[in-house]
Structure 1
């Protein structure tokens, strides 16, 4: 798969996890991370179980500032 198609395929996951991280940081619920994951398991299990997509996001280079 070409890099462009790969980015498009994981764009929804990337947006979801960016919003989730922003919520987690802003809500200051760091002590309750396990509860957050447990509650997401019911509604976002396909995203959380997408090992290929999560690996891709973790290995993705950070975008340059301003992009």
Structure 2
């Protein structure tokens, strides 16, 4: 699993303001995002975008509002 692909898929789809600046961890296709939610994205939209990355089987968001 390419963590960079998970990190940049939102930006590729929605533009640079949607880039994920949080910690991306993957284990056997299970993605965990921790940190701040990009200001231009809702949690459900981010989850759908990450799930669209080939090889992703599950997504857990541990994201707070941006500072």
Classify the TM-score, shorter chain.
Answer: under 0.3
Higher strand share: 2
Higher helix share: 1
Larger Rg: 1
Taking structure 2 as the reference length, the TM-score comes to: 0.26
